[in-house]
């Protein structure tokens, strides 16, 4: 299902025609201006741990395999849905299949869960009558946890399955991760990972159009983790003893931010190339990074989250309650704008 050299508009209409079994779809206008629809909008949420909001308790599906998706009952899809309802926009949520650890390929392939069990492909939640698809993926395909473990000796010692991945090259010292990732084999690995993310997002967006041909698609980016002023990361948050990024070398923090910005750009381009919308959280959350103290919207790497699994589970740089609310605010605004076009 890779792209041809035709335009994104032509590709999307062609995919819709195939899915409907009729070329009559090509005669349907792209959309009309006006107020958001009065009827409930049939919606599917998808995504990884940033959509599921890993770290926020309590979690859904406590009596089945999906427990280990760590999908919060109050994740940003749930909060955004309520915000929209308060503004007169009703979402009929057909499903929220977001799951921690999901790669982009798990949109069309089964996902194996920690401690056993498999989940069906997230695309299985789509229906012909789905009107809106919202969520985000890409960080796990990039291998962001491997990057974090490349730069942190403390995270390298975490052999648990809750933070998947190994260092890119465990033979390279964590303290030299910036040099490793900016040159030689490390840079080559990183460039390849970005290429893979772009290709997989392309595949995912096309599949959305195929299986839900009349849907609007909103790809959601990741909130910013590292601030522009990395000196703020040298102070622990109120009530914490660990620094926000634990033992990751100070000189590697700007690199982590550059990597995240590059991921944001890859996601933005994939959405634009395929005619989807993009909710750019990176550009909206520069004052709520993991290093913004009481204003932080991201829990520190080793800061205790709201989850316990025998003992408290760290946030591993995921949105806390404040960050979740910021996600919900911007995603709701994007959805409302899309539906009001």
- Sequence-distant (6+) residues with CB within 8 A of 188 are none
Whole-angstrom distance, CA of residue 99 vs CA of residue 122: 9
Residue count of the chain, please give it: 341
What is the C-alpha separation between 329 and 158, in angstroms, rounded?
Answer: 33
Helix or strand holding residue 42 (H, E):
strand 41-47
Is 330 among the residues known to form the active site?
no
Helix (H) or strand (E) holding 277, with range, is strand 277-279
Q: Give SS3 for 95.
A: strand
| 25: number of Cβ within 10 Å | 17
In contact, 273 and 216? CB cutoff 8 Å: no
| Chain CA centroid to CA 297, Å | 15
Task: Please say if 95 is a catalytic residue.
Answer: no
Q: Which of 49, 75, 98, 320 is catalytic?
A: 49
| CA separation for the pair 71, 231 (Å, rounded) | 33
Q: Is-catalytic flag, 305? A: no
User: Exactly one of 55, 100, 101, 275 is catalytic; which is it?
Assistant: 101
Catalytic residue among 53, 75, 98, 140: 140
Candidates 146, 318, 320, 323; catalytic one? 318
49 is annotated as an active-site residue: yes
Quote the CA–CA distance of 189 and 146 in Å, as a whole number: 11
Question: Cβ distance 83 to 329 under 8 Å?
Answer: yes
Q: Are 147 and 225 in contact (CB under 8 A)?
A: no
Catalytic residues: 49, 101, 140, 318
């Amino acid at each position: 299902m890779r792209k041809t050299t035709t335009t994104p508009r032509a590709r999307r209409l062609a995919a819709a025609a195939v899915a409907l079994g009729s070329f009559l779809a090509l005669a349907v206008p792209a959309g009309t201006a006006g107020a958001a629809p009065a009827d409930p909008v049939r919606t599917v949420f998808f995504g990884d741990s940033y959509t599921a909001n890993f770290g926020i308790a309590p979690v859904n599906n406590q009596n089945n395999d999906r427990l280990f998706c760590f999908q919060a009952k109050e994740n940003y899809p749930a909060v955004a849905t309520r915000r929209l309802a308060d503004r007169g926009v009703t979402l009929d949520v057909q499903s929220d299949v977001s799951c921690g650890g999901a790669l982009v390929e798990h949109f069309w392939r089964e996902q194996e869960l920690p401690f056993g069990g498999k989940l069906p492909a997230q695309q299985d939640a789509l229906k012909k009558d789905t009107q809106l698809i919202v969520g985000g993926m890409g960080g796990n395909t990039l291998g962001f946890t491997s990057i974090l473990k490349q730069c942190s000796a403390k995270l390298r010692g975490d052999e648990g399955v809750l933070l998947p991945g190994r260092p890119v090259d465990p033979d390279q010292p964590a303290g030299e991760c910036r040099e490793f990732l900016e040159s030689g084999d490390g840079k080559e690995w990183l460039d390849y990972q970005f290429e893979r993310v772009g290709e997989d997002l392309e595949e995912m967006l096309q599949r959305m159009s195929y299986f839900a041909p009349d849907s609007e698609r909103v790809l959601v980016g990741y909130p910013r983790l590292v601030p522009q002023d990395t000196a703020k990361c040298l102070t622990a948050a109120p009530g914490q003893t660990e620094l926000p990024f634990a033992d990751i070398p100070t000189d590697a923090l700007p690199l982590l931010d550059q990597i995240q910005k590059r991921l944001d750009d890859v996601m933005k381009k994939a959405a634009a190339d395929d005619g989807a919308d993009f909710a750019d959280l990176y550009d909206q959350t520069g004052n709520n990074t993991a290093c913004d103290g009481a204003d932080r919207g991201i829990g520190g790497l080793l800061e205790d989250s709201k989850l316990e699994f025998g003992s408290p589970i760290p946030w591993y740089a995921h949105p806390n309650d404040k960050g979740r609310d910021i996600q919900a605010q911007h995603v709701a605004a994007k959805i409302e704008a899309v539906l009001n076009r």
